[in-house]
Amino acid sequence: MPPAQLDVGTLAHDQCVRRRLFLAGLVVLCYNHLLTLDEEITYIWTPKLKRSSIWFLLVRYFALAGNFALIPYFLGDLDVQTCQKLSTVQNCLLLIQETFVETTLATRVLAMYGFNRRVFAALGVVAVITIGLGVFSVTGPNTSISTTLSGCHMPTSHGMAIRMAAAWEAQLVCDILIVCLTMHRACSYQAHGGIRMHSILGIMVRDGALYFGMIGLVVAVNIMGLYLISAGSLAWFASTISVTMVCRLMLNLHGAAHRDWEESDSAMQLGTTSATADGQPEDAP
């Protein structure tokens, strides 16, 4: 199939927007790292490393390393062969990042339901479909597009844009299912005595709603962009924001668990002190 031709003005504008979005996502990611570094040291590095802590570090630093690794792809002036290889790398990193995000959210909801088999099966089916569409979107046939612009710029063909939109739609459905399960669990607990907002469950409900509100908007805009403007998309920016929000969710949960442990430890120490005082003889100093 002969390469499709796009006018230079359209490609130049798309390249400019694409670079700005990449820089915006990188700035948000790095700024969030700086803002939460103290919490990371307190809740992740200071206590003994657990599986949840290792998973947090994997999600957080994989995204950071991936963003820095793609700086030459988005901002550099490389030859066509290198650009094509880095385009494949970007698609793989995008798929892995979103898999990390959805796995984190699904595990969080499963924990709320005590790893119920029916909930696990429902999330598993949606996850398999989402990952399958994601793999197809980056490995399916693509139409080459010729460009006379300098720099590493690989416009997305209309066919690939449609496949990518389907993958993001499946992820949006998965996020909707997760937030519905979260709200259902919250209503169940509310009917049986309520939820303390600073408890682990309360933070799960609060952060789940905030996550869906922010990421749902970004994903929806990305999907519309893929359908209407197939030359580029918000995919990498949306993925970076997703990782940033998920890292916030995980830090908040570690913080809540840390506070619960401190309160429990303080209560035990207070109880020990009271028992010792009660056991002293009356003439004790």
pLDDT block averages, 10 residues each, the chain of length 285: 54 79 93 93 89 93 95 84 85 90 87 86 88 78 52 68 84 86 75 58 67 79 76 78 89 79 57 51 39
Cα 223 to Cα 158, 174, 227: the distances in Å are 13, 15, 6
Q: What is the pLDDT of residue 142?
A: 53
Residues 6+ apart with CB under 8 A from 68: 26
Q: Which of 178, 40, 28 is nearest to 102 (CA)?
A: 178
By the 8 A CB rule, do 94 and 110 touch?
no
User: Contact, 113 vs 185, CB < 8 A?
Assistant: yes
Euclidean distance between CA atoms 195 and 239, whole angstroms: 31
What pLDDT sits at residue 4? 47
Could you give the angle at which helices 158-191 and 200-228 cross, rounded to 10 degrees? 160
Stated as kind and residue range, the H or E segment containing 172 is helix 158-191
Angle between helices 200-228 and 80-112 (to 10 degrees): 140
What are the chain's domains? 8-142+154-257 (1.20.1070)
